[in-house]
Structure 1
Amino acid sequence: MKPQETEIAERLRLAGLRPTRQRVCLAAILFGCGDRHVSAESLHQEALAAHIHVSLATVYNTLNQFKTAGLLREVAFEGDRTFFDTNTSNHFHYYLEETDQLVDIGSTDLEVKGLPELPPGTEIDRIDVIVRLRRSGS
Protein backbone atom coordinates (compact mmCIF):
# COMPACT_ATOMS: atom_id res chain seq x y z
CA MET A 1 0.00 0.00 0.00
CA LYS A 2 1.14 3.55 -0.73
CA PRO A 3 1.61 5.87 2.29
CA GLN A 4 -1.53 7.84 1.42
CA GLU A 5 -3.53 4.61 1.16
CA THR A 6 -2.18 3.46 4.53
CA GLU A 7 -3.33 6.73 6.14
CA ILE A 8 -6.74 6.41 4.49
CA ALA A 9 -7.09 2.79 5.61
CA GLU A 10 -6.33 3.85 9.18
CA ARG A 11 -8.87 6.69 8.96
CA LEU A 12 -11.50 4.19 7.80
CA ARG A 13 -10.62 1.77 10.62
CA LEU A 14 -10.90 4.58 13.20
CA ALA A 15 -14.37 5.35 11.81
CA GLY A 16 -15.36 1.70 12.27
CA LEU A 17 -15.17 0.73 8.59
CA ARG A 18 -13.22 -2.11 7.08
CA PRO A 19 -10.76 -0.61 4.56
CA THR A 20 -11.69 -2.56 1.47
CA ARG A 21 -9.90 -1.78 -1.80
CA GLN A 22 -12.92 0.06 -3.18
CA ARG A 23 -13.44 2.14 -0.02
CA VAL A 24 -9.76 3.10 0.09
CA CYS A 25 -9.76 4.09 -3.59
CA LEU A 26 -12.94 6.16 -3.29
CA ALA A 27 -11.72 7.77 -0.05
CA ALA A 28 -8.46 8.72 -1.75
CA ILE A 29 -10.43 10.59 -4.40
CA LEU A 30 -12.78 12.17 -1.86
CA PHE A 31 -10.28 13.28 0.74
CA GLY A 32 -7.18 13.74 -1.40
CA CYS A 33 -7.67 17.40 -2.30
CA GLY A 34 -9.25 19.33 0.56
CA ASP A 35 -12.87 19.98 1.38
CA ARG A 36 -15.26 19.41 -1.46
CA HIS A 37 -18.84 18.56 -2.43
CA VAL A 38 -19.60 15.58 -4.64
CA SER A 39 -22.63 13.74 -5.91
CA ALA A 40 -22.56 9.98 -6.31
CA GLU A 41 -22.57 10.47 -10.07
CA SER A 42 -19.63 12.91 -10.07
CA LEU A 43 -17.57 10.66 -7.78
CA HIS A 44 -18.36 7.69 -10.01
CA GLN A 45 -17.10 9.63 -13.04
CA GLU A 46 -13.91 10.61 -11.18
CA ALA A 47 -13.34 6.97 -10.19
CA LEU A 48 -13.76 5.75 -13.75
CA ALA A 49 -11.40 8.49 -15.02
CA ALA A 50 -8.84 7.26 -12.47
CA HIS A 51 -9.27 3.68 -13.77
CA ILE A 52 -11.04 2.57 -10.60
CA HIS A 53 -13.75 0.22 -11.78
CA VAL A 54 -16.70 0.46 -9.41
CA SER A 55 -20.41 0.48 -10.06
CA LEU A 56 -22.57 3.49 -9.36
CA ALA A 57 -24.39 1.39 -6.75
CA THR A 58 -21.08 0.75 -4.95
CA VAL A 59 -20.36 4.48 -4.96
CA TYR A 60 -23.80 5.22 -3.47
CA ASN A 61 -23.34 2.54 -0.81
CA THR A 62 -19.84 3.75 0.06
CA LEU A 63 -20.91 7.39 0.34
CA ASN A 64 -23.77 6.39 2.65
CA GLN A 65 -21.41 4.24 4.75
CA PHE A 66 -18.97 7.15 5.02
CA LYS A 67 -21.87 9.43 6.03
CA THR A 68 -23.06 7.00 8.70
CA ALA A 69 -19.49 6.73 10.02
CA GLY A 70 -19.27 10.53 10.31
CA LEU A 71 -16.71 11.00 7.52
CA LEU A 72 -19.13 12.92 5.27
CA ARG A 73 -22.08 15.22 5.68
CA GLU A 74 -25.09 14.76 3.42
CA VAL A 75 -26.62 17.89 1.91
CA ALA A 76 -29.97 16.98 0.36
CA PHE A 77 -32.51 19.25 -1.27
CA GLU A 78 -35.26 19.15 -3.86
CA GLY A 79 -36.21 15.62 -2.89
CA ASP A 80 -33.68 13.64 -4.87
CA ARG A 81 -30.73 16.06 -5.23
CA THR A 82 -27.95 15.05 -2.85
CA PHE A 83 -24.38 16.14 -2.36
CA PHE A 84 -21.85 14.74 0.08
CA ASP A 85 -19.58 17.21 1.83
CA THR A 86 -16.14 16.28 3.18
CA ASN A 87 -16.40 19.24 5.58
CA THR A 88 -18.52 17.86 8.41
CA SER A 89 -18.45 21.05 10.51
CA ASN A 90 -21.57 23.16 10.94
CA HIS A 91 -21.70 25.46 7.91
CA PHE A 92 -24.04 26.62 5.18
CA HIS A 93 -24.06 26.56 1.38
CA TYR A 94 -24.70 28.47 -1.80
CA TYR A 95 -26.10 26.38 -4.62
CA LEU A 96 -25.07 27.62 -8.07
CA GLU A 97 -27.91 26.48 -10.33
CA GLU A 98 -26.18 26.90 -13.68
CA THR A 99 -23.13 24.83 -12.73
CA ASP A 100 -24.88 22.47 -10.28
CA GLN A 101 -22.31 23.20 -7.56
CA LEU A 102 -22.39 23.75 -3.82
CA VAL A 103 -20.08 26.37 -2.32
CA ASP A 104 -19.49 26.82 1.40
CA ILE A 105 -20.70 29.88 3.26
CA GLY A 106 -18.58 30.57 6.34
CA SER A 107 -20.43 29.92 9.59
CA THR A 108 -19.58 33.44 10.80
CA ASP A 109 -21.21 34.98 7.71
CA LEU A 110 -24.76 33.87 8.52
CA GLU A 111 -26.80 33.95 11.69
CA VAL A 112 -30.08 32.10 12.25
CA LYS A 113 -32.46 33.92 14.62
CA GLY A 114 -35.97 33.40 15.83
CA LEU A 115 -36.26 29.62 15.77
CA PRO A 116 -39.65 28.35 16.91
CA GLU A 117 -40.01 26.47 20.17
CA LEU A 118 -38.92 22.86 19.73
CA PRO A 119 -41.29 19.98 20.37
CA PRO A 120 -40.80 18.35 23.77
CA GLY A 121 -38.00 15.80 23.90
CA THR A 122 -36.14 17.15 20.87
CA GLU A 123 -32.99 19.16 20.28
CA ILE A 124 -31.46 20.75 17.20
CA ASP A 125 -28.94 18.48 15.49
CA ARG A 126 -27.99 21.03 12.84
CA ILE A 127 -29.53 23.70 10.67
CA ASP A 128 -29.12 23.40 6.92
CA VAL A 129 -29.26 26.61 4.91
CA ILE A 130 -28.92 26.51 1.14
CA VAL A 131 -29.00 29.83 -0.70
CA ARG A 132 -29.80 29.24 -4.36
CA LEU A 133 -27.99 31.51 -6.80
CA ARG A 134 -28.42 32.20 -10.50
CA ARG A 135 -26.61 34.54 -12.82
CA SER A 136 -28.08 38.03 -12.53
CA GLY A 137 -30.15 39.10 -15.51
CA SER A 138 -31.22 35.48 -16.22
Structure 2
Amino acid sequence: MHEHDHTHETPRDVTDLLRDAGLRPTRQRVSLAEILYSQGDRHISAELLHEEAVDAKVPVSLATVYNTLHQFTEAGLLREVAIDGNKTYFDTNVSDHHHFFIEGENEVVDIPGEKVGIGLVPEAPEGMEIVRVDVIVRVRPKS
Protein backbone atom coordinates (compact mmCIF):
# COMPACT_ATOMS: atom_id res chain seq x y z
CA MET A 1 0.00 0.00 0.00
CA HIS A 2 1.17 3.51 -0.75
CA GLU A 3 1.47 5.97 2.09
CA HIS A 4 -0.41 9.17 1.38
CA ASP A 5 1.95 11.49 3.24
CA HIS A 6 2.80 13.70 0.29
CA THR A 7 -0.07 16.08 -0.20
CA HIS A 8 0.28 16.65 -3.95
CA GLU A 9 0.61 13.51 -6.00
CA THR A 10 1.39 13.74 -9.67
CA PRO A 11 -0.94 11.99 -12.13
CA ARG A 12 1.78 9.35 -12.52
CA ASP A 13 1.45 8.37 -8.85
CA VAL A 14 -2.33 8.12 -9.09
CA THR A 15 -2.02 5.95 -12.19
CA ASP A 16 0.42 3.65 -10.34
CA LEU A 17 -1.86 3.64 -7.30
CA LEU A 18 -4.76 2.41 -9.44
CA ARG A 19 -2.63 -0.14 -11.32
CA ASP A 20 -1.14 -1.50 -8.08
CA ALA A 21 -4.68 -1.96 -6.78
CA GLY A 22 -5.61 -3.88 -9.93
CA LEU A 23 -7.81 -1.14 -11.42
CA ARG A 24 -7.49 0.04 -15.00
CA PRO A 25 -6.54 3.73 -14.86
CA THR A 26 -9.38 5.11 -16.98
CA ARG A 27 -9.60 8.86 -17.39
CA GLN A 28 -12.54 9.12 -14.97
CA ARG A 29 -10.83 6.99 -12.31
CA VAL A 30 -7.60 8.98 -12.63
CA SER A 31 -9.47 12.31 -12.41
CA LEU A 32 -11.45 11.23 -9.34
CA ALA A 33 -8.35 9.73 -7.70
CA GLU A 34 -6.49 13.01 -8.23
CA ILE A 35 -9.28 14.93 -6.49
CA LEU A 36 -9.44 12.35 -3.67
CA TYR A 37 -5.73 12.11 -2.93
CA SER A 38 -4.49 15.63 -3.66
CA GLN A 39 -5.35 16.98 -0.21
CA GLY A 40 -3.89 14.47 2.20
CA ASP A 41 -6.16 12.27 4.31
CA ARG A 42 -9.82 13.20 4.11
CA HIS A 43 -13.36 11.90 4.54
CA ILE A 44 -15.63 12.63 1.64
CA SER A 45 -19.17 11.71 0.62
CA ALA A 46 -20.07 10.77 -2.95
CA GLU A 47 -22.12 13.98 -3.22
CA LEU A 48 -19.21 16.16 -2.15
CA LEU A 49 -16.76 14.38 -4.47
CA HIS A 50 -19.24 14.82 -7.32
CA GLU A 51 -19.45 18.56 -6.54
CA GLU A 52 -15.66 18.85 -6.51
CA ALA A 53 -15.44 16.94 -9.80
CA VAL A 54 -17.97 19.28 -11.44
CA ASP A 55 -16.00 22.28 -10.10
CA ALA A 56 -12.82 20.75 -11.57
CA LYS A 57 -14.62 20.36 -14.94
CA VAL A 58 -14.53 16.55 -14.71
CA PRO A 59 -17.63 15.30 -16.55
CA VAL A 60 -18.96 12.53 -14.30
CA SER A 61 -22.43 11.62 -13.09
CA LEU A 62 -23.20 11.03 -9.43
CA ALA A 63 -23.82 7.36 -10.28
CA THR A 64 -20.31 7.08 -11.75
CA VAL A 65 -18.86 8.70 -8.64
CA TYR A 66 -20.68 6.17 -6.43
CA ASN A 67 -19.50 3.25 -8.57
CA THR A 68 -15.92 4.50 -8.61
CA LEU A 69 -15.87 5.03 -4.83
CA HIS A 70 -17.12 1.47 -4.32
CA GLN A 71 -14.54 0.09 -6.77
CA PHE A 72 -11.78 1.99 -4.93
CA THR A 73 -13.10 0.65 -1.60
CA GLU A 74 -13.15 -2.95 -2.85
CA ALA A 75 -9.61 -2.51 -4.18
CA GLY A 76 -8.47 -1.32 -0.72
CA LEU A 77 -7.76 2.28 -1.75
CA LEU A 78 -10.54 3.74 0.37
CA ARG A 79 -12.33 2.78 3.53
CA GLU A 80 -16.08 3.13 3.87
CA VAL A 81 -17.32 4.79 7.04
CA ALA A 82 -21.07 4.27 7.31
CA ILE A 83 -22.94 6.51 9.72
CA ASP A 84 -26.63 5.92 10.42
CA GLY A 85 -26.89 3.76 7.31
CA ASN A 86 -27.97 6.77 5.26
CA LYS A 87 -24.72 8.71 5.35
CA THR A 88 -21.57 7.13 3.99
CA TYR A 89 -18.15 8.72 3.96
CA PHE A 90 -15.13 7.43 2.11
CA ASP A 91 -11.83 7.70 3.93
CA THR A 92 -8.53 8.03 2.06
CA ASN A 93 -6.73 6.81 5.19
CA VAL A 94 -6.99 3.01 5.12
CA SER A 95 -4.79 2.46 8.20
CA ASP A 96 -6.24 1.08 11.43
CA HIS A 97 -8.16 3.90 13.11
CA HIS A 98 -11.58 4.98 14.34
CA HIS A 99 -13.77 8.08 14.01
CA PHE A 100 -15.55 10.87 15.82
CA PHE A 101 -18.79 11.93 14.14
CA ILE A 102 -19.71 15.52 14.95
CA GLU A 103 -23.48 15.61 15.09
CA GLY A 104 -25.19 18.55 13.45
CA GLU A 105 -22.09 19.30 11.38
CA ASN A 106 -21.95 15.97 9.54
CA GLU A 107 -18.20 15.95 10.01
CA VAL A 108 -16.00 12.90 10.51
CA VAL A 109 -12.67 13.18 12.37
CA ASP A 110 -10.02 10.49 12.76
CA ILE A 111 -9.21 8.85 16.10
CA PRO A 112 -5.83 7.06 16.05
CA GLY A 113 -6.27 3.29 16.39
CA GLU A 114 -4.27 3.04 19.60
CA LYS A 115 -6.56 5.56 21.34
CA VAL A 116 -9.46 3.09 21.36
CA GLY A 117 -9.17 -0.15 23.29
CA ILE A 118 -11.63 -2.85 22.27
CA GLY A 119 -12.18 -5.24 25.16
CA LEU A 120 -14.53 -8.01 24.19
CA VAL A 121 -15.06 -8.83 20.54
CA PRO A 122 -17.59 -11.60 19.82
CA GLU A 123 -16.53 -14.62 17.83
CA ALA A 124 -17.47 -14.33 14.19
CA PRO A 125 -20.38 -16.52 13.03
CA GLU A 126 -19.37 -19.90 11.65
CA GLY A 127 -17.51 -19.67 8.36
CA MET A 128 -16.90 -15.93 8.83
CA GLU A 129 -13.87 -13.92 9.86
CA ILE A 130 -13.76 -10.46 11.42
CA VAL A 131 -12.29 -7.97 8.97
CA ARG A 132 -12.00 -5.06 11.38
CA VAL A 133 -13.90 -3.28 14.12
CA ASP A 134 -15.08 0.23 13.31
CA VAL A 135 -15.80 2.47 16.26
CA ILE A 136 -17.76 5.66 15.65
CA VAL A 137 -17.90 7.99 18.64
CA ARG A 138 -20.71 10.51 18.24
CA VAL A 139 -19.99 13.95 19.70
CA ARG A 140 -21.69 17.36 19.81
CA PRO A 141 -20.80 20.74 21.29
CA LYS A 142 -21.61 21.01 25.00
CA SER A 143 -24.74 23.06 25.56
Question: Scaled by the length of structure 2, what TM-score is found?
Answer: 0.88
The residue correspondences of 1:1-138 to structure 2 (distance < 5 A) are 4-137=10-143
* Shift of residue 108, structure 1, vs aligned partner: 1.4
Code of the residue aligned with 1:85 in structure 2: it is D
CA distance in 1, matches of 2:128, 2:117: 21
Q: CA RMSD in A?
A: 1.4
Identity %: 55
**Is there any run of 5+ residues in structure 2 with no aligned partner, and where?**
1-8
Moved over 6 A (4+): none
Between structure 1 and structure 2, the one with the greater Rg is 1
CA distance in 2, matches of 1:92, 1:74: 12
Per-residue CA shift, 1:19-77, capped at 9, x if unaligned? 11111010001011111100000101111111112110110011001011110011112
Separation in 2 of the partners of 1:29 and 1:96? Answer: 24
Normalised by the size of structure 1, how large is the TM-score?
0.91
Q: Which amino acid aligns with 1:39?
A: S
